[in-house]
Amino acid sequence: MLDSLTEKLSKTLKNLTGQGRISEKNISETLKEIREALIDADVALSVVKHLLNDIKKRALGHEVLRSLSPGETLIKIIHDELILVMGEKNEVLNLAAQPPAVILMAGLQGSGKTTTAAKLAHFLQETEHKKVLLASTDVYRPAAIEQLQILATQINASFHPCDPKDSPLKIARSALVSAQEKGFDVLIVDTAGRLHIDKEMMTEIQDLHKALNPIETLFVVDSMTGQDAAKTAQAFNEALALTGVILSKMDGDARGGAALSVRYLTGKPVKFIGNGEKIEALTPFYPERLVSRILGRGDIVSLVESIQRNVDQEKSAKLAKKIQSGRGFSLDDFKGQLLEMKKMGGLAELADKLPGMPNLPQNIKNKMMDDKVLTRFEAMINSMTKKERNFPDLINGSRKRRITQGSGTSIQDLNQLLKQFTGMQKMAKKLGKPGGMSKMMRQLGGKLPQGLLG
């Protein structure tokens, strides 16, 4: 699955890794190749355009991180944009309804609705321990009802028996009543396959929808139909308020077009993918995992991952270097670090990233996470003269009053800042010595240096 997209993208991106920097010129060829790869993967044209636009905008406006080559930066951008277009995170089924939570299955003929209904029942029984009732309203295709009944037996799910001579609406209503009476958590209603242009059949499913008031209306679509899958989902969504899409047959030679297009074209998330004929072959859809597959399991993905690590490492390394230099460590440097810490998501985040730093107790984390402290520190340093920043020992009583008045802080705040600064300075000196870092980590043994926290 998705092999050719993977192959093409890997090749394109590998060619870029030798380049010096990202420019309009050297990126245009790559973008063209990416465009071709996406079109070959049968991604809808509007999605391709949107993706390329965003990739280009971000790539050109992107500050290329020093530790990364432009090629690596571009891979990271493509990685992020592909995830973005698919909706970033896994969207779970919403079952928060007065039981039974009703799930209505919809889709074209042969898309995999019946199989998926049973797979879903199995999934909910196994992973969420739900009591599931399956019902079929497909009175049109001979043996369609039996098909679901057999699957239900296989997975030990309950099945709502019905007479194929009854109308789908009648069957649906009686299934709902039965589920309510018997205390089922979930009722999954299978429907006959239909075309969105078949007015009569669309009215029928709209009526079913009204009668059942499902919390989830899932469109099951064959992913092998590529961008057409996304387009039919779009058309169905206009007639029926879908809550999600399930891409079936992702184990076949799906080229990726459906997965990449559905979310963008319908605004509805892909919640699951079907990847086999077996009853277990249904997996929650994680955009990130699919992107990893698209970009290839091998070197490209690990490259992306190492980039992620590099980005973090580069930031921490910068910080460590400053700390290690020790000499001339001024309040301006301290402020620079505070700003950096803020950018990196606050102190707690930083502490989590420091190697060898064991899990900190929550109360310390909370204290560290208080970024208001950072803001106060910054304000106080801003109110200092250059001389005071370089020689904090100068800061006496009257200077303290001036600084705190100027920054709207208290003497206590300023004392805390100076104490932390001194602690940092001391630590910097220690770290500056050979082996200082690892020695200190050992000494710390889970505690932060005095003075860093005040």
Size of the site for ligand GTP (CB under 6 A): 21
Q: From the list 71, 87, 100, 107, which residue makes contact with ligand GTP (rule: CB under 6 A)?
A: 107
Q: Tell whether the torsion through CA atoms of 315, 316, 319 and 325 is positive or negative.
A: negative
Phi-psi category of residue 143: left, alpha or beta, with phi > 0 → left and psi -120 to 50 → alpha: left
Q: How far is CA 150 from CA 18, 112, 175, 282, in A?
A: 58, 15, 17, 18
Q: From the list 110, 298, 356, 358, which residue makes contact with ligand GTP (rule: CB under 6 A)?
A: 110
Question: Tokens in use for 229?
Answer: 């899958």
Contact yes or no for 285/76 (Cβ under 8 A): no
248 binds, among ligand GTP, Mg ion, none (CB under 5 to 8 A by kind): ligand GTP
Give ∠ CA 359-364-370 in degrees, rounded to 5. 120
Query: Could you tell me which stretch among 112-120, 163-171, 259-267, 283-291 binds Mg ion (CB under 5 A)?
Result: 112-120
Residue matched to tokens 């990739």: 55
**N residues, the chain:** 454
Q: From the list 47, 83, 144, 218, which residue makes contact with ligand GTP (rule: CB under 6 A)?
A: 144
Contact yes or no for 4/255 (Cβ under 8 A): yes
What is the spatial distance between Cα 234 and Cα 422, in angstroms, rounded to a whole number?
62
What is the spatial distance between Cα 425 and Cα 418, in angstroms, rounded to a whole number?
10
Site string for ligand GTP, 304-343 (x = CB under 6 A): ----------------------------------------
Report if residue 109 touches ligand GTP, rule: CB under 6 A: yes
Report if residue 171 touches ligand GTP, rule: CB under 6 A: no
Query: Could you tell me which stretch among 106-114, 285-293, 415-423, 446-454 binds ligand GTP (CB under 6 A)?
Result: 106-114
Q: To the nearest whole angstrom, how small is the minimum distance from the Cβ of residue 102 to ligand GTP?
A: 18
Residue nearer to ligand GTP on the CB measure, 283 or 330: 283
Report if residue 112 touches ligand GTP, rule: CB under 6 A: yes
Contacting residues for 391 by C-beta, under 8 A, at least 6 apart: none
Question: Any bridge partners for residue 217, and if so which?
Answer: 104
Q: To the nearest whole angstrom, how small is the minimum distance from the Cβ of residue 144 to Mg ion?
A: 5
Report if residue 193 touches ligand GTP, rule: CB under 6 A: yes
Residue 34 burial class via C-beta count within 10 angstroms: exposed 0-12, middle 13-18, buried 19 and up: buried
Q: From the list 114, 149, 243, 324, which residue makes contact with Mg ion (rule: CB under 5 A)?
A: 114
Report if residue 407 touches ligand GTP, rule: CB under 6 A: no
What DSSP state is assigned to residue 393? G
109 binds, among Mg ion, ligand GTP, none (CB under 5 to 8 A by kind): ligand GTP
Residue nearer to Mg ion on the CB measure, 113 or 194: 113
Residue nearer to ligand GTP on the CB measure, 139 or 331: 139
Give ∠ CA 451-444-316 in degrees, rounded to 5. 75
168 binds, among ligand GTP, Mg ion, none (CB under 5 to 8 A by kind): none
3-class DSSP assignment, residue 452: coil
Q: Tell whether the torsion through CA atoms of 53, 58, 61 and 65 is positive or negative.
A: negative
Residue nearer to ligand GTP on the CB measure, 251 or 370: 251
Q: Phi and psi (nearest 5°) for 114?
A: -65, -50
Residue nearest to ligand GTP (CB): 193
The single-letter code of the amino acid at 449 is P
Report if residue 141 touches ligand GTP, rule: CB under 6 A: yes
Question: Any bridge partners for residue 189, and if so which?
Answer: 104, 135
Q: From the list 99, 276, 326, 346, which residue makes contact with ligand GTP (rule: CB under 6 A)?
A: 276
Report if residue 140 touches ligand GTP, rule: CB under 6 A: no
Q: How far is CA 372 from CA 28, 346, 421, in A?
A: 44, 10, 17
Q: To the nearest whole angstrom, how small is the minimum distance from the Cβ of residue 97 to Mg ion?
A: 24
Residue nearer to ligand GTP on the CB measure, 107 or 168: 107
What is the spatial distance between Cα 325 and Cα 322, in angstroms, rounded to a whole number?
5
Binding residues among 232-251 for ligand GTP as defined by CB under 6 A: 248-249, 251
112 binds, among Mg ion, ligand GTP, none (CB under 5 to 8 A by kind): ligand GTP
91 binds, among ligand GTP, Mg ion, none (CB under 5 to 8 A by kind): none
Q: List residues binding Mg ion (CB under 5 A).
A: 113-114
Q: List residues binding ligand GTP (CB under 6 A).
A: 107, 109-115, 138, 141, 144, 193, 248-249, 251-252, 274-277, 281
